[in-house]
Amino acid sequence: MVHLSLTGSTNDHAAGLVESLDVSGTDDPHGTLIIADEQTGGRGRFNRDWISPPGGLWFSLICRTALSIEKVPAVTLIAAFAAADTLICEYDIDAHIKWPNDLYCGGSKFGGILSEGKQFKDLRYIIMGMGLNIDIDRKYLDRLENSAVNIQELTRKKIIQESLLAHILKKFEDMYLYYDDSGDFGSIFKNIGGILRY
């Protein structure tokens, strides 16, 4: 695990680890988790700015994969489901996924996922980045157009970020390993479809 107090983007940091991969493979970054207290260059789809001040959970996970780069979007949905299902089951939040990568409760957005493919020689990687508003100062959220909300406002109780992260990663790992091994997204989508909105 790499913990950074400040970084431009955890996804960019992860990409740098892949790009600097030693030719022998001894420095394989597979499984590396990068967490930042704050991002200055967080981004969403289409390089849209993602405000990432202190008080959020900002992280990226590097996964070596047998999947083709074209299948990366499915990993985004798997990650979104891991987060939404954790919040539903563990925190009693009525969370749903807004196609293709945003996390909502009602009409308020509290998170999003950006998955990106990277290749080094014959090794392929997926970088799964996630940002969740946990307890961000309202002055940041109030200037956004999408009625952003903190997860702590939805639960009205203290969120232990380490516990939330562990639950999300466990759910993600189980589904991702199945998908990476089998390529069978249909079985996974049967669960995702129930909380997916377009």
Q: Does residue 22 surpass a pLDDT of 70?
A: no
Q: How confident is the model at residue 72 (pLDDT cuts 50, 70, 90)?
A: confident
Q: Does residue 55 surpass a pLDDT of 70?
A: yes
What pLDDT does 156 receive?
86
| Contact assessment for residue 33 and residue 145, using Cβ atoms and an 8 Å cutoff | no
How far is Cα 68 from Cα 107, in angstroms, rounded to an integer? Answer: 34
- Which of these, 104, 86, 108, 83, lies nearest to 95 by C-alpha position? 104
Question: In total, how many domains does the chain have?
Answer: 1
- Reading the block at residue 159, the tokens are 């969120």
Return the bridge partners of 196, or none. 97
- The CATH number assigned to the domain holding 37 equals 3.30.930.10
Single pTM value for the model? 0.93
The residue with greater pLDDT, 41 or 55, is: 55
For 107-142, write each residue's pLDDT tens digit. 999 999 999 999 888 889 999 999 999 999 988 888
**Segment 30-58 mean pLDDT:** 88
Query: DSSP characters for the chain?
Result: -EEESSBS-HHHHHHHHHHT--TTSTT--TT-EEEES-BSS-B-GGG-B--B-TTEEEEEEEEEESS-GGGHHHHHHHHHHHHHHHHHHHH---EEEETTTEEEETTEEEEEEEEEEEEETTEEEEEEEEEEESS--HHHHTTSSS----HHHHH-S---HHHHHHHHHHHHHHHHHHHHHH---HHHHHHHGGGEE-
Which range of residues forms the domain containing residue 187? Answer: 2-197
* Contacts of 160 by beta carbon, 8 Å cutoff, 6+ apart: none
